[in-house]
């Protein structure tokens, strides 16, 4: 048997088996009344002109906060926002307060006194964790400082749990640790698609093939069909010798890679291109040197409709087009298509979820993930640094 035969058909137990750990759950905590609970939430919402413009992640955080408050806990919510040190969670607190009562707690360095004055059933949100540079380095001193604010710790931030940050993997060393409702929903949904019902279709968009190659390699073995779109397809077309013009490419050369020969990997047959002035739909063999590929074409969408028509499992991560440039046709068409499918569907990626919600289709999918990078890491490895940390320290 050749190496390619092995790549195409051989499945080891470790590749297709799911993580069988039962995660320590928020529901299993006894006697929360009067306990200070340090809740790591996923609140990295977009903010424009001081107002939150998309509340999906905030909505997912409400269940755990409400559960803790109703149990009489003193809830201390910690989270991050953005990438810049000066970005603030205060607008998020205002938006979250419309969903569940919560007070602004301000800077973490001054939070001790405010936490000490919390009444049973109250919640406060502290300032952006990333305003302290120690958050990104898993700093032990910062972990100890955060741990002093709680009697126990709950991670409800699946979307951040692929990062080895202090609030993610440092705190479990010092506090009894559990996972919140949102985290466990993500975990359970992704376990399902790691061992899919067949026929199974994986649609992968977005960019940065260098980070997704292990995922493509693994799921080409598990899924009946893997469709690659978005900017990822530029790398495949380039490796196959097609003209891709000025299109974005990744920091990886796929020339000679075995995935190019796999029959169950599909790519667009036509694309939407522009030279900055004119916009046209062309076959993948007709892209000109001065053009950019920015979306999947109508023929490709018809092919995707046939591809997914009898699927029992559909996994989708990442848009088919460049949202920032206004190329949303492919993604929105696919969203409408999959919303009508009877398959169990799991969807992730910020732009993808935004498209689905803008169309009002969010209730017509099996599960919408708050995670982007964390979803892909979990699908590849079956675990996350956050899970490993909690299970390690809870032994």
At the second CATH level, the architecture of 196-364 is 3-Layer(aba) Sandwich (3.40)
Q: Which residue in 157, 184, 183, 182 sits closest to 171, CA to CA?
A: 157
Q: Is 27 exposed, middle or buried (0-12, 13-18, 19+ CB in 10 A)?
A: exposed
**pLDDT tens digits, residue range 284-299?**
999 999 999 999 999 9
Q: What is the DSSP letter of 277?
A: S
SS3 call for 107: coil
pLDDT digits over 378-393, tens only? 999 999 999 999 999 9
Does 135 score more than 90 pLDDT? yes
pLDDT in tens, 208-240: 999 899 999 999 999 999 999 999 999 999 999
Q: What's the longest Cα–Cα distance across the chain?
A: 69
Answer whether 157's CB lies under 8 Å from 168's CB.
yes
Please state which of the ranges 19-23, 219-223, 246-250, 300-304 shows the lowest mean pLDDT. Answer: 19-23
**Distance between CA atoms of residues 18 and 16, nearest Å:** 6
Instruction: List the domain boundaries for the chain.
Output: 26-182+383-393, 196-364
Q: What is the mean pLDDT of the chain?
A: 92
Judged by DSSP in three states, 96 sits in helix
Strand-by-strand arrangement of the 265-266 sheet: 265-266, 225-228, 200-204, 313-317, 344-348, 367-368
**Which pLDDT does position 354 carry in this prediction?**
87
Burial of 378 (0-12, 13-18, 19+ CB in 10 A): buried
pLDDT band at 2 (very low <50, low <70, confident <90, very high): very low
Residue pointed to by tokens 């599960």: 367
74-78/103-106 β-pairing: unpaired
At 323 the pLDDT is 84
pLDDT at 16: 34
Cβ atoms of 147 and 153 closer than 8 Å: yes
User: Whose structure tokens read 């992704």?
Assistant: 190
Confidence of residue 19 (pLDDT cuts 50, 70, 90): very low
Residue 17 scores a pLDDT above 70? no
Q: Give residue 119's pLDDT.
A: 97
- Centre a 10 Å sphere on the Cβ of residue 79 and count the other Cβ atoms it contains: 28
Query: What pLDDT is recorded for position 226?
Result: 97
Band of pLDDT at residue 12, cut at 50, 70 and 90: very low
**For the chain, what's the residue count?**
395
Task: Classify domain 26-182+383-393 at the CATH topology level.
Answer: Rossmann fold (3.40.50)
Long-range CB contacts for residues 15-22, cutoff 8 Å, separation at least 24: 15/218, 15/221, 15/222, 16/194, 16/195, 16/221, 16/222, 17/195, 17/382, 18/191, 18/194, 18/195, 18/382, 19/191, 19/382, 19/383, 19/387, 21/387, 21/391
What's the pLDDT score for residue 233? 96
Distance of alpha carbon 390 from the chain centroid: 20
Q: Rounded mean pLDDT of 294-318?
A: 96
* Statement: residue 10 has pLDDT above 80: no
Region 355-375 average pLDDT: 91
> In the predicted model, what is the mean pLDDT of residues 38-52?
95
Share of residues in the chain with pLDDT > 90 (%): 87
Give residue 302's pLDDT band: very low, low, confident or very high (50, 70, 90).
very high
Do residues 356 and 368 make contact, with C-beta atoms less than 8 angstroms apart? yes
When pLDDT is cut at 50, 70 and 90, the band that residue 5 belongs to is: very low
pLDDT tens, position by position, 71-118: 999 999 999 999 888 999 999 999 999 999 999 999 999 999 999 999
SS3 assignment for 290-325: CCEEEEECHHHHHHHHHHHCCCCEEEEECCCCCHHH
The whole-model pTM stands at: 0.88
Which of the four pLDDT bands, split at 50, 70 and 90, describes residue 270?
A: very high
Reported as type and span, the H/E element at residue 179 is strand 177-179
Helix (H) or strand (E) holding 51: strand 51-52
- Residue 25: closest CA among 237, 214, 185: 185
Section 271-296 average pLDDT: 96
CA dist., res. 59 & res. 53, Å (int) = 13
**200 neighbors 311 (Cβ within 8 angstroms):** yes
* Residues 137-172: tens digit of each pLDDT: 999 999 999 999 999 999 999 999 999 999 999 999
Residue 324: per-residue pLDDT: 82
Give pLDDT, residue 244. Answer: 97
pLDDT at position 349: 84
């Amino acid at each position: 048997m050749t190496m390619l035969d092995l790549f195409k058909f051989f499945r080891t137990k470790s590749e297709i088996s799911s993580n069988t750990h039962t995660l320590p759950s928020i529901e299993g905590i006894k006697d929360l009344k009067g306990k200070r609970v340090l809740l790591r939430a996923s609140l990295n919402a977009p903010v424009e002109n001081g107002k939150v413009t998309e509340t999906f992640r905030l909505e997912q955080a409400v269940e755990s906060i409400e559960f803790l408050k109703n149990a009489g806990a003193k809830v201390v919510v910690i989270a991050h926002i953005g990438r810049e040190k000066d970005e603030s969670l205060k607008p998020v607190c205002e938006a979250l307060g419309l969903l569940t009562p919560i007070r602004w707690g301000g800077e973490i360095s001054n939070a001790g006194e405010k936490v000490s004055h919390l009444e049973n059933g109250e919640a406060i949100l502290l300032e952006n964790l990333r305003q302290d540079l120690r958050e990104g380095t898993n700093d032990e001193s910062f972990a100890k400082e955060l741990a002093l604010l709680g009697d126990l710790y709950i991670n409800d931030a699946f979307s951040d749990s692929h990062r080895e940050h202090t609030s993610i993997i440092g705190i479990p060393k010092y506090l009894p640790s559990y996972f919140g409702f949102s985290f466990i929903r993500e975990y359970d949904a992704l376990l399902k698609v790691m061992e899919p019902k067949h026929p199974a279709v994986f649609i992968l968009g977005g960019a940065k093939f260098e980070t997704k190659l292990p995922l493509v390699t693994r799921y080409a073995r598990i899924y009946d069909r893997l469709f690659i779109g978005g900017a990822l397809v530029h790398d495949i077309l380039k490796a196959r010798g097609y003209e891709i013009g000025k299109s974005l490419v990744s920091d990886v050369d796929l020339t000679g890679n075995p995935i190019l020969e796999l029959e169950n990997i599909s790519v667009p047959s036509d694309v939407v291109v522009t030279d900055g002035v004119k916009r046209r739909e062309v076959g993948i063999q007709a892209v000109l040197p001065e053009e950019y590929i920015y979306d999947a074409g109508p023929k490709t969408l018809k092919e995707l409709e046939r591809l997914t028509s009898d699927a029992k499992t559909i996994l989708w991560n990442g848009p088919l087009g460049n949202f920032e440039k206004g190329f949303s046709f492919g993604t929105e068409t696919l969203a409408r298509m999959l919303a009508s499918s009877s398959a169990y569907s799991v969807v992730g990626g910020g732009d993808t979820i935004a498209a689905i919600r803008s169309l009002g289709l969010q209730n017509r999918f099996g599960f919408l993930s708050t995670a982007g990078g964390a979803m892909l890491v979990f699908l590849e490895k079956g675990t996350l640094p956050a899970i490993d940390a909690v299970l390690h320290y809870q032994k």
